[in-house]
Structure 1
Amino acid sequence: MEGDIMGFILPLVLMFAVFYFLLIRPQQKRQRERNDMLNALQKGDKVITIGGLHGTIVDLTDDKATLKVADNVRLTFERTAVNAVVKDD
């Protein structure tokens, strides 16, 4: 009887461990890196939004970012709409 229970529980535990290490943990790491990137945004950073718009941050609040995309064009986005910071080489 105990062997049947162990034979049933062990595969479930192994399956959960595989899901955790292959799916859950990497997703948490990516989310943590994204949150760190959003918290580190500063005026003057060149960014790309999730829509693919390239611009430079000219104003930043807790939840909004204003991007300069051309000489006289400024667009306001949610801070979470920033996808990546472009590094100058």
Structure 2
Amino acid sequence: MFYLILLRPQQREQRRRQDTLGSLKKSDKVVTTGGIVGTIADLSQDGRFVTLKVDDSTRIRFLRSAIHGLLEEKSEGSGN
């Protein structure tokens, strides 16, 4: 019972996160675990690092594991 309530959903979420991190590509809009929002400008060849463009003249290098997820843009017709 404990497995079904706590562990299984947690494993599913970890798998989803790994899939998301593995499928990152240039031009994806992402948010880091620290709340920084940017567009992926470059991915290192070994896959460990991601360079985010956060402004026209600002690029920051992060570990791939510091990416929280893709930023989902709200559609313009959604209200707020």
Task: Please indicate, yes or no, whether the TM-score normalized by the shorter chain is above 0.5.
Answer: yes
The two structures, once aligned, show a CA RMSD in angstroms of: 0.9
| Unmatched segments (≥5 aa) in structure 1 | 1-17
Greater helix fraction, Structure 1 or Structure 2: 1
> Which residue in 2 is equivalent to 1:44?
27
> Which residue in 1 is equivalent to 2:54?
69
| Unmatched segments (≥5 aa) in structure 2 | 76-80
1:53 maps to a residue whose letter is I
> Which residue in 2 is equivalent to 1:79?
64
Pick from 41, 46, 55 the counterpart of residue 58 of structure 1.
Answer: 41
Normalising to structure 1: TM-score of the pair? 0.77
Matched, 1:25 2:8: yes
Q: Distance in 2 between matches of 1:76 and 1:47?
A: 13
**Secondary structure of the equivalent of 2:15?**
helix
Deviations 1:5-34 (A, max 9, x none): xxxxxxxxxxxxx11000111110000000
* Structure with greater contact order relative to length (CA < 8 Å, sep ≥ 6): 2
2:58 maps to a residue whose letter is V
Number of aligned residues: 72
2:50 maps to a residue whose letter is A
Q: Distance in 2 between matches of 1:87 and 1:27?
A: 22
Q: Distance in 2 between matches of 1:72 and 1:44?
A: 16
Q: Distance in 2 between matches of 1:87 and 1:21?
A: 29
Q: Between Structure 1 and Structure 2, whose CA radius of gyration is higher?
A: 1
